[in-house]
Structure 1
Amino acid sequence: MNHPRRLLAGLAALALAGSAGLVVVRLQQGGSAPGSSAVAVEATATPGQLTTPQKVARKRQVDVLLAKRSTAVLKGDLKGFLAAVDPKQPKLAARQRLLFTNLRKFEFANLKYFAADERPTPTLAAKYGPTTFSTRVMMRYQLTGLDRKPVQTDLAYTFVRRGTAWVLVEDGAFDEVLSPDGHRQPWDYQEIAVVRRGKVVVVVDQGELALGKKIGAASQGAVDGVRRHWPRPWNGAVMVVAMSEPQVLSILWTSGNGAGWTIAAKAVSLYDGEPWKPHAGPPVSSRIVVNPAVRKDLDQDLLVHEMTHVATLPIGTRTPLWLEEGIAEYVRCASIEDDPQWTVDPYRKTVRTKYLASMKVLPGRQQFDEAGDRSYGQSWWITAYLVSKLGERGVAALYTDLAQHSTSQTAYATILKKHTGKTAAQLVTAVKKYKG
């Protein structure tokens, strides 16, 4: 069987994955009593002249509206969801209605929106007047059966005070300052279809339901393959996004130097907390995003590679790239050869005769950027060698130790020697002699 790589030159690849978009908000609160904080905020003529108590009151009012919005999604209340959208903007209202339709296709264990830091927008203030309030809004949510903990992303919203109520007037005026995956969730573009197969959730365009079912079947087979060869516990829950929209979760579909490489699919890590801050711990969830250009060309073994990343990411993020990609390629190839009708012998021959002689180090980012095919093949060969010596459980133990404790080059070297009995250089020498 020819080797369908995760990184492929040109378009010779198959794969799956996806997620991200443009969340629009429509907020409204009922009239406020005279003397309330709402009136106090409205009384100030221009942004920037509000007192600290007035800013606190304004944020509190918007947060109340945002809470009503999240409640409307959870309860299926379209009227409540659209209550605060600017009635003078039918296109905005239409986007809100579509957003609501898409959100209702997911199962939220919880959902919360809240105002974060203010982002002044002079152009919008000139357009809408002195009460204009542009703010990053945090969307904190947890999808039932998919996310171990809530995850969080940021959105760009602009509100205006009209009478005693706040109205949503803009939903993306400062997207460029959001986190890379902000405002780019699967529910934020065209209407979608959501297909469930066991614990796998597949998201496709509304008109591609048959594709979604096909991916669901392939995904369930991929989950089984991972479970056979990755000995640590994994519940098999994963979302695969295979939409025509190329900006979902802000994925770049090329990598490497020169003309670059086409990425067929990618596992995207999701975290809780402020999106722009460095994440100290492992991700709390992940999505597999599929390159739109190859979403209709499905291959189960390619999904196995990405699902191995989903299964291993929760352990930690300090694993070196050669083992991170090597274990994914190992599980992929092993799952193929579980079927006596299939073999990866052509790939095995290519790695042995074409890629091993040039290996001087355990592949890192530079090697992957320079030659993706070669580095993936070498990483697979290294991992297969380690499995031949340590077994799958032994390699999983090495992976876990590195993921959690490889905090420096010294720690990395110590962990590698402890599990393999070799230094990195000695491991390279041994791997090059391995016949496979």
Structure 2
Amino acid sequence: MKHPRRLLAAVAALALAGTAGAVVVTRSGDAPAGSTASALQAPGPSHELSDAEKKSRQHEVDLLLGKRATAVLKGDLHGFLAAVDPKQPKLVARQKLLFGNLRKFGFSTLKYFTADDWAAPKLAEKYGPSTYSTRVMMRYQIAGVDPKPVQTDLGYTFVRRDNLWVLVEDGAIDETLSRDGHRQPWDFQEVALVRRGKVVVVVAQRELALGTTIARVSQDAVAAVRRHWPRGWDGAVLVVAMPEPQVMATLWTSGSGRGWTIAAKAVTLYEGEQLGKPSGPAVGSRIVINPALRKDLDEDLLVHEMTHVATVPIGPLVPLWLAEGLAEYVRCRSVEDDPEWTVDPYRKTVKTKYLPGMKTLPDRAAFDANGERAYGQSWWTVEYLADRVGIKKIAALYADVAVHGTTEAAYSAILKRHTGKTPAELTAAVKRFRG
């Protein structure tokens, strides 16, 4: 390969298996020491309100939230700000910016509703006994991107004034929410959206030109995936390239002791996520670009991540070597679509450095121990299968094991049925394969 950064794609994809979709709802008791959440208490029985009173309070706030969702869909700024504390100009300004950002995404559906309440003594001391801090679910669907609604959570605090609920805090209990993933691109500065085909890129408004460049590269990456992946994919994807590292995730290194830089990650969104389901059916993915590298992206890096976007909805049971090996296979094939580019140096490194010590198909531990080696071995395994059985049969293997590979025995039987080899036999054959 001519470009020295080509191998970054192998490192970047660790996110899918390591952090993508792994959004965990945390109570304040689980918060890191020294965080804002350490001042909060996990929700418990209230001695001040009866169950009926709490239910009534929740119902009233849900009605208020419903009006705010309707205001976004209808473009009604006044209605969106109606419940925001007018005594706090900074809060009003943030909420006004939020409204403008939300309007740019073109939601086909949007709903806010309370999920659970939180005892926050310091907020109650500040605002009085009617203070109600709650985790709010935002369930939304971006038209042309999301096949089904997805959701994220917010931390809001309301108080009762003149028989009306007023929003007084929009981030005071953020530390109690999902450790990764709940901060969305619309939560910070003004955004710009660039659309090319079914690709939507979100960047800071001041970086509109960057968004146009990333959209072009992303559309080319989608075309490359569709050339080399035989199962249907409509190419719809949201690419997030914001300056803030808090957007969608906070981890931009991976691996044990290596400190690898992750250039981008495919963050999988699951149906019913953050409502007590650690994982449900995958709805879709977002590709999130490392803020530090957002101005220097290669197409093949996005090809790797977009392969994950195209394949993750098929099912969750795919072994890591197959998921990452396939993404590397599509990436390398896309590189060699250009006659001026080659992956020969990568191929040589894999054959001479990574294959001799290969004892098993790479698993999670192998990726953690040495990511570059594990990605290389996984890629070469898929290259071997493509040479022996063809990419269409690899796609059939992927679809079968993604749904039915519930146990090690089931996985082994599926692999044998599609490739004619057990995992051990496949490992041995891959080591002998010279390409």
Question: What TM-score, normalized by structure 2, do the two folds share?
Answer: 0.89
| Percent identity of equivalent pairs | 67
Q: By how many angstroms is 1:310 displaced?
A: 0.1
The CA RMSD measured in Å over matched residues stands at: 1.7
Deviations 1:354-376 (Å, cap 9, x if unpaired)? Answer: 11111111011111111111111
Deviations 1:329-358 (Å, cap 9, x if unpaired)? Answer: 000111111222221111111111111111
Partner of 2:395: 396
Give the whole-Å Cα distance in 1 for the aligned partners of 2:291 and 2:212: 16
Give the whole-Å Cα distance in 2 for the aligned partners of 1:274 and 1:369: 26
The answer to whether structure 1 residue 6 and structure 2 residue 5 are counterparts is no
**CA contact under 8 A between 1:229 and 1:331: conserved in structure 2?**
yes
Q: Secondary structure at the match of 1:146?
A: coil
The code of the aligned residue for 2:266 comes to: A
The code of the aligned residue for 1:164 comes to: N
Deviations 1:129-187 (Å, cap 9, x if unpaired)? Answer: 11111111110000001111100111111100001210001112222221234540010
Q: Secondary structure at the match of 2:139?
A: strand
Partner of 1:76: 75
Partner of 1:294: 293
Give the whole-Å Cα distance in 2 for the aligned partners of 1:103 and 1:82: 13
Counting only pairs closer than 5 Å after superposition, residues 229-244 of structure 1 correspond to structure 2 as 229-244=228-243
Gaps of 5+ in 1: 10-16, 21-45
Q: By how many angstroms is 1:392 displaced?
A: 0.7
Q: By how many angstroms is 1:90 displaced?
A: 1.1
Give the whole-Å Cα distance in 2 for the aligned partners of 1:64 and 1:143: 23
Partner of 1:186: 185
Counting only pairs closer than 5 Å after superposition, residues 218-257 of structure 1 correspond to structure 2 as 218-257=217-256
Give the whole-Å Cα distance in 2 for the aligned partners of 1:410 and 1:77: 56
Gaps of 5+ in 2: 13-19, 24-44
Greater Cα shift, 242-251 or 108-117: 242-251
Partner of 2:99: 100
Q: How many residues align?
A: 402
Partner of 1:200: 199
Partner of 1:343: 342
Counting only pairs closer than 5 Å after superposition, residues 54-73 of structure 1 correspond to structure 2 as 54-73=53-72
Partner of 1:361: 360
The code of the aligned residue for 1:358 comes to: G
Give the whole-Å Cα distance in 2 for the aligned partners of 1:428 and 1:277: 39
The code of the aligned residue for 1:128 comes to: Y
Q: Secondary structure at the match of 1:193?
A: strand
Counting only pairs closer than 5 Å after superposition, residues 33-432 of structure 1 correspond to structure 2 as 48-181=47-180, 183-275=182-274, 277-432=276-431
Give the whole-Å Cα distance in 2 for the aligned partners of 1:280 and 1:203: 26
**CA contact under 8 A between 1:153 and 1:181: conserved in structure 2?**
no
Give the whole-Å Cα distance in 1 for the aligned partners of 2:378 and 2:277: 28
Give the whole-Å Cα distance in 2 for the aligned partners of 1:182 and 1:376: 25
Q: Secondary structure at the match of 2:234?
A: coil
Q: Secondary structure at the match of 1:249?
A: coil
Give the whole-Å Cα distance in 1 for the aligned partners of 2:232 and 2:386: 18
Q: By how many angstroms is 1:272 displaced?
A: 2.6
The code of the aligned residue for 1:345 comes to: D
Give the whole-Å Cα distance in 2 for the aligned partners of 1:105 and 1:279: 30
Deviations 1:289-339 (Å, cap 9, x if unpaired)? Answer: 011111111211111000000000110111011000000000011111122
**CA contact under 8 A between 1:180 and 1:249: conserved in structure 2?**
no
Give the whole-Å Cα distance in 2 for the aligned partners of 1:191 and 1:239: 17
Give the whole-Å Cα distance in 1 for the aligned partners of 2:67 and 2:399: 43
CA 283–180 in structure 1, closer or farther in 2 if over 3 Å, else same: farther
Q: Secondary structure at the match of 1:74?
A: helix
Give the whole-Å Cα distance in 1 for the aligned partners of 2:404 and 2:341: 38
**CA contact under 8 A between 2:271 and 2:280: conserved in structure 1?**
no
Give the whole-Å Cα distance in 2 for the aligned partners of 1:261 and 1:277: 32
**CA contact under 8 A between 2:156 and 2:169: conserved in structure 1?**
yes
CA 168–187 in structure 1, closer or farther in 2 if over 3 Å, else same: same
Give the whole-Å Cα distance in 1 for the aligned partners of 2:319 and 2:97: 42
Give the whole-Å Cα distance in 2 for the aligned partners of 1:255 and 1:7: 12
Greater Cα shift, 311-320 or 275-284: 275-284
Give the whole-Å Cα distance in 1 for the aligned partners of 2:411 and 2:328: 22
Q: Secondary structure at the match of 2:349?
A: helix
The code of the aligned residue for 2:373 comes to: R
Q: By how many angstroms is 1:4 displaced?
A: 3.4
Deviations 1:7-40 (Å, cap 9, x if unpaired)? Answer: 459xxxxxxx9xx9xxxxxxxxxxxxxxxxxxxx
Give the whole-Å Cα distance in 1 for the aligned partners of 2:53 and 2:275: 27
CA 48–146 in structure 1, closer or farther in 2 if over 3 Å, else same: farther
Give the whole-Å Cα distance in 2 for the aligned partners of 1:431 and 1:361: 10
**CA contact under 8 A between 1:69 and 1:81: conserved in structure 2?**
yes
Give the whole-Å Cα distance in 2 for the aligned partners of 1:267 and 1:276: 21
**CA contact under 8 A between 1:304 and 1:332: conserved in structure 2?**
yes
- Larger RCO, structure (CA 8 Å, separation 6 or more): 1
**CA contact under 8 A between 1:281 and 1:316: conserved in structure 2?**
no
Partner of 2:34: none
Give the whole-Å Cα distance in 1 for the aligned partners of 2:80 and 2:325: 46
CA 426–47 in structure 1, closer or farther in 2 if over 3 Å, else same: closer
Q: By how many angstroms is 1:280 displaced?
A: 4.9
Question: What TM-score, normalized by structure 1, do the two folds share?
Answer: 0.89
Q: By how many angstroms is 1:251 displaced?
A: 3.6
